[in-house]
Structure 1
Amino acid sequence: MASSRIRTFPQRISGAMAASLGLLALLVTVRCNEQVPVIMWTSEGISLPRQAPPTAGHIVGHQQLASYLEKALDVGPRNVVLFLQDKMSIEDFTLYGGAFGNKQDGVFPNLEGALRSSSSPLVLPAVSWPASNAVIGQLQDQLDTSPLYMDPDTLSQLRLNASSPALLVFRLPYGTGSDLLSAKETLSGNDEVIGQVISIMRSQAVPYTAVYTGLQPSRKEAAALSVEGGLGGGRSLLQSRGGYKDRWRNRERQQWAKEKREVYAPVEFKEDDRTCMLLWAKGLTVGILRNNRWEEHDLTPATFGEGVSPRLHGSDCDKSKARLVLNYENVLGHRSFKLVFVMSQRHYKVSARRWFTLDAVELEYDGTKATFNGSRSIYAPAEYSYRCHSVTSFRWPLLVPRSAKDPANQWRVSFDDFQIQGFNLSGNEFSYASDCAGFFSPGIWMGLLTSLLMVLVLTYGLHMIMQLLTMDRFDDPKGPGISVPQTE
């Protein structure tokens, strides 16, 4: 993408074309398998202090990216529009952005127009993709507000306030496979979405800060091949000159790979070679009350982990209902034990959209069924997954026994870092999560309680003032003094 404000993109081809392209290939491909670009700009008419972009070849990490965002939001608009693409690499811009003079083939006209009209654009071409993956969390912490997942139609009905911070998230897809035409068409469609959002924000006259980035790189395999096969010995020479920096990068890569191995895959149920349901949890625990004491059993090792394949027979799903059955043996003295998640989705007229609910969590053991109802607390839009840090039946319960006589009263369940999705899955990954975090944070409760205390003090003071009585006798300096008998 060619723009006078984007210093890191190639803009002209000089006589030393071979050397320039060689250097560009080196900078782009050496480590773009771990990099995602981040583009920031402000709405037209908003001027911010310029932030110096990183030097060529420098990789922006978590702390430096947080610093860039913090400096932009400290003085800039706190209505943030985040365009979050599933995958993104700098090669997407060099291939499809018309960077080498073929502007008629560029697929980013709206993005280029936004950068040209902004007085404070910032392009970070090489951001560590774990850092870009966490950009939504960093924005949420700095704005102290929850993200709102939007589309252009929903945004047109929303009325924003310049004085109240808002984090508007627009999820953008990316073409899969090796079909370059598919990726180009997808990026062109994403640019149209960016143009629609910018047009709506301009019509509402609300200043905003925009961020465009991806969750992970889109050119991992191509980058790795180009480094191994194209650069050859040049790559070894670069590493030998790198010294400490290369050793540090290798250590960082190994640490990231270790952390990635420790995160096990979710439970996946397929029907007709299509992923139908996904379940993940850091811990699954069930307990039963026997002799006035709780006996617990951890189901996590038998459900998740490398080489673990839980038995899912009895599971089924369709467009409106889903049932995920986890089968176990020898759990708390029961030879046969099943943990069942019953879900459904339907259209709600009030919200004018479809929602899915976790209707029940059932425990089936030796012919007996214990049922916990979860539909009142566990729900999410049908396009999202549901995630919660803790789902239990005994401590701030989200799951409650169906009735007072249900066997579930003798059981308790606990799910840590729980995430589930039973509808509208694309591939074998969760859709974006709807978190169970409540609206009232500890800070809000402290403010409400403090305000209530001040109102009570003010009310008491007004009440005491209203109880003051005016004297019914006054002393006349020209007449005799008032005598007040002691007997009154």
Structure 2
Amino acid sequence: MATTGRPQLRSISACLAVFLGLLNILNTGNCDEQVPLIMWTSEGVSVPTQSPPTAGHIVGQQQLASYLEKALSVGPRNVVLFLQDKMSIEDFTMYGGAFGNKQDSVFPNLEGALRSSSSPLVLPAVSWPASNAVIGQLQDQLDTSPLYMDPETLSQLRLNASSPALLVFRLPYGFGADLMSAKDILSGNDEMIGQVLSTMKTQSVPYTAIYTALQPPGRLPRGGWRERERERERQRKIKEKAGIYGPVEFKEEDNTCILLWAQGLSVSILRSGRWEEHDLTPLTFGEGVSPKLDGSTCDKSKARLVLNYENILGHRSFKLIFAMSQRHYKVSARRWFTLDAVVLEYDGTHATFNGSRHVYAPAEYSYRCGSVTNFRWPVLIPRTSKDPANQWRVSFADFQIQGFNVTGSDFSYASDCAGFFSPGIWMGLMTSLLMVLVLTYGLHMIMQLHTMDRFDDPKGPAISVPLTE
């Protein structure tokens, strides 16, 4: 990380803005391809410094991975990632008080964090595909899944310095907004950074913080999306070699907003007193399989995934629909998403299963369950007693779904459906209870033993004990 002992870093915010402005001048031809990245550690943590890149150098994906690896190998492995939708170096030169107007700076909390850190690192020019993949790089190096948080839920989380954690805070950016609104948005983001850092300070857990963005503002992402698609293809081939297929993805404006994965999807219908089953897994997942998702939609409060099939159990048109929603619950003081319904639509008929009572998770998480059915330990319940759903059976094995706060092509941290008292736990409790009973019985028998009140003297006559005693 960058050296902090030099006198000019006493006003690190001004130096940061001027340095970024200089890099902007040196890279005018490629500024649309770069985003800045700032990394620092919590106050009181001292780690070896890393040399920043030379002026005009663009940090690529491999070099960024090297910076992160060196920082996390010796520094705190609780990582706080502030991920803005878009960012450019002009944000710091225009709004960071770079020309002596410190009262106009919209980054007071960020500047304070950099001043208090013993090892800040400033990368003014990072190629945007590299910054776009920073979550995946951190996830690989920390060997943990990202947790998408907000300042309110962070206060409920208890971190451990010995256990790595990747906390992701998404920050908005006013693309296309006027000068004043863009400044207000950046100021609000800085306030959120200050709130998060204040909460982290109360937990007394050392951390590494990173502030960057997914892509530059105003950039046409055609070439970048091709780069991202190539990376996805590479990851897909790796999974296929390991015998693992990827999830179903539904995209809205080139951004994935719904993910679905299952080891097995099957439906059955009751005909003439017998259940006829059809396996939908090979039509939904696997190499070269692209299910039709016509009718799928998603927004901040509602999500609907529609899997379209043909000729299923004698029905020419067949749809498997997952309807989800999310809202804020005052009791828990956080947002939750629920799988409101699973609908089978076939030849104009709807069979509806309610799932909101059992299938739910925090809005930042995905939901995972080993078995989701309507007949064996049912999780899905027919809407009414007369609903056509009573003639159907649905079975999802090793089921995982996420309809909100999706980043990239990976699921967020999974909220598992398994209750605390699983069969294994019950077996352990019963075994422990049996051992306690045996031990109690043994102690009781030992306590019943009495010491003899008469002893035989080898020099005297033998003791005669009458049978009456």
Once the two structures are superposed, what CA deviation does each residue of 1:264-316 show, in whole Å capped at 9, x if it has no partner?
861659xxxxx9x9544367944436877743235549xx998x87443xx89
Q: Per the alignment, do residues 477 and 11 of structure 1 end up closer, same or farther by CA in structure 2, a change over 3 Å counting?
A: farther
The secondary structure found in structure 2 opposite 1:69 is helix
Q: Distance in 2 between matches of 1:407 and 1:50?
A: 65
Determine if the alignment matches structure 1 residue 412 to structure 2 residue 380: no
Q: Per the alignment, do residues 131 and 430 of structure 1 end up closer, same or farther by CA in structure 2, a change over 3 Å counting?
A: closer
Q: Distance in 2 between matches of 1:446 and 1:369?
A: 39
Q: 2:75 aligns with which of 72, 79, 95?
A: 72
On the 8 A contact 1:377/1:398 being kept in 2, the answer is no
Structure 1 residue 42 displacement after superposition: 0.6
Report the residue type matching 1:72 in the other structure.
G
Once the two structures are superposed, what CA deviation does each residue of 1:379-428 show, in whole Å capped at 9, x if it has no partner?
245x657554877438998853538994454443569663325xxx9xx9
Question: Where in structure 2 are the equivalents of 1:422-441 lying within 5 Å?
Answer: 435-438=413-416
On the 8 A contact 1:88/1:217 being kept in 2, the answer is yes
Q: Which residue of 1 aligns with 2:40?
A: 40
Q: Which residue of 2 aligns with 1:334?
A: 315
Q: Which residue of 1 aligns with 2:360?
A: 379
Q: Per the alignment, do residues 338 and 329 of structure 1 end up closer, same or farther by CA in structure 2, a change over 3 Å counting?
A: same
Report the residue type matching 2:45 in the other structure.
S
Q: Which residue of 1 aligns with 2:455?
A: 475
Query: Structure 1: which 5+ runs fail to align?
Result: 14-19, 226-250, 270-274
Q: Distance in 2 between matches of 1:138 and 1:364?
A: 41
Question: Where in structure 2 are the equivalents of 1:47-86 lying within 5 Å?
Answer: 47-56=45-54, 57=57, 58-59=59-60, 60-62=63-65, 64-73=67-76, 81-86=80-85
Once the two structures are superposed, what CA deviation does each residue of 1:228-284 show, in whole Å capped at 9, x if it has no partner?
xxxxxxxxxxxxxxxxxxxxxxx9889437559999861659xxxxx9x95443679
On the 8 A contact 1:31/1:223 being kept in 2, the answer is no
Q: Distance in 2 between matches of 1:485 and 1:391?
A: 72
Once the two structures are superposed, what CA deviation does each residue of 1:6-52 show, in whole Å capped at 9, x if it has no partner?
69965779xxxxxx987764468758726551412213xx2323232
Determine if the alignment matches structure 1 residue 288 to structure 2 residue 254: no
Q: Distance in 2 between matches of 1:261 and 1:282?
A: 14
Q: Per the alignment, do residues 482 and 150 of structure 1 end up closer, same or farther by CA in structure 2, a change over 3 Å counting?
A: farther
Q: Which residue of 2 aligns with 1:359?
A: 340
Question: Structure 1 residues 131-140 or 258-267, which shifts more?
Answer: 258-267
On the 8 A contact 1:282/1:300 being kept in 2, the answer is no
**Identity rate, percent:** 37
On the 8 A contact 1:111/1:194 being kept in 2, the answer is yes
On the 8 A contact 2:366/2:415 being kept in 1, the answer is no
Q: Which residue of 2 aligns with 1:109?
A: 108
Aligned alpha-carbon RMSD (Å) = 5.6
Q: Distance in 1 between matches of 2:53 and 2:117?
A: 22
Question: TM-score, normalized by length of structure 1?
Answer: 0.63
Question: Where in structure 2 are the equivalents of 1:263-274 lying within 5 Å?
Answer: 266=250
Structure 1 residue 65 displacement after superposition: 1.7
Question: Structure 1 residues 87-96 or 26-35, which shifts more?
Answer: 26-35
Q: Distance in 2 between matches of 1:213 and 1:417?
A: 30
Q: Per the alignment, do residues 455 and 441 of structure 1 end up closer, same or farther by CA in structure 2, a change over 3 Å counting?
A: same
Determine if the alignment matches structure 1 residue 133 to structure 2 residue 147: no
Structure 1 residue 216 displacement after superposition: 0.8
The secondary structure found in structure 2 opposite 1:48 is coil
Q: Distance in 2 between matches of 1:224 and 1:404?
A: 51
Q: Distance in 2 between matches of 1:416 and 1:446?
A: 21
On the 8 A contact 2:268/2:393 being kept in 1, the answer is yes
Q: Distance in 1 between matches of 2:276 and 2:424?
A: 37
Report the residue type matching 2:402 in the other structure.
Q
Structure 1 residue 72 displacement after superposition: 1.2
Give the count of matched residue pairs: 427
Report the residue type matching 2:113 in the other structure.
A
Q: Which residue of 2 aligns with 1:393?
A: 373
Question: TM-score, normalized by length of structure 2?
Answer: 0.65
Structure 1 residue 456 displacement after superposition: 7.2
Q: Which residue of 2 aligns with 1:246?
A: none
Structure 1 residue 73 displacement after superposition: 1.9
The secondary structure found in structure 2 opposite 1:339 is strand
Q: Per the alignment, do residues 5 and 65 of structure 1 end up closer, same or farther by CA in structure 2, a change over 3 Å counting?
A: farther
On the 8 A contact 2:267/2:394 being kept in 1, the answer is yes
The secondary structure found in structure 1 opposite 2:75 is helix
Report the residue type matching 1:472 in the other structure.
M
Q: Distance in 1 between matches of 2:317 and 2:172?
A: 43
On the 8 A contact 1:84/1:213 being kept in 2, the answer is yes
Q: Per the alignment, do residues 347 and 91 of structure 1 end up closer, same or farther by CA in structure 2, a change over 3 Å counting?
A: closer
Q: Distance in 1 between matches of 2:115 and 2:346?
A: 65
Q: Distance in 1 between matches of 2:278 and 2:184?
A: 57
Q: Per the alignment, do residues 219 and 119 of structure 1 end up closer, same or farther by CA in structure 2, a change over 3 Å counting?
A: same
Question: Structure 1 residues 259-268 or 342-351, which shifts more?
Answer: 259-268
Once the two structures are superposed, what CA deviation does each residue of 1:446-480 show, in whole Å capped at 9, x if it has no partner?
99999997897677556534432242345365874
Q: Distance in 2 between matches of 1:255 and 1:320?
A: 31
On the 8 A contact 1:387/1:420 being kept in 2, the answer is no
Q: 2:231 aligns with which of 251, 256, 277?
A: 256
On the 8 A contact 1:42/1:118 being kept in 2, the answer is yes
Q: Which residue of 2 aligns with 1:239?
A: none
Q: Per the alignment, do residues 467 and 380 of structure 1 end up closer, same or farther by CA in structure 2, a change over 3 Å counting?
A: same
On the 8 A contact 1:391/1:398 being kept in 2, the answer is no
Report the residue type matching 1:216 in the other structure.
L
Structure 1 residue 363 displacement after superposition: 0.8
Q: Which residue of 2 aligns with 1:150?
A: 150
On the 8 A contact 1:347/1:355 being kept in 2, the answer is yes
Structure 1 residue 174 displacement after superposition: 1.6
Determine if the alignment matches structure 1 residue 464 to structure 2 residue 442: yes
On the 8 A contact 2:14/2:96 being kept in 1, the answer is no
Q: Per the alignment, do residues 130 and 109 of structure 1 end up closer, same or farther by CA in structure 2, a change over 3 Å counting?
A: same
Q: Per the alignment, do residues 201 and 367 of structure 1 end up closer, same or farther by CA in structure 2, a change over 3 Å counting?
A: closer
Q: Distance in 2 between matches of 1:322 and 1:472?
A: 81
Q: Distance in 2 between matches of 1:316 and 1:24?
A: 40
On the 8 A contact 1:87/1:217 being kept in 2, the answer is yes
Query: Structure 2: which 5+ runs fail to align?
Result: 1-7, 238-245
Structure 1 residue 340 displacement after superposition: 2.9
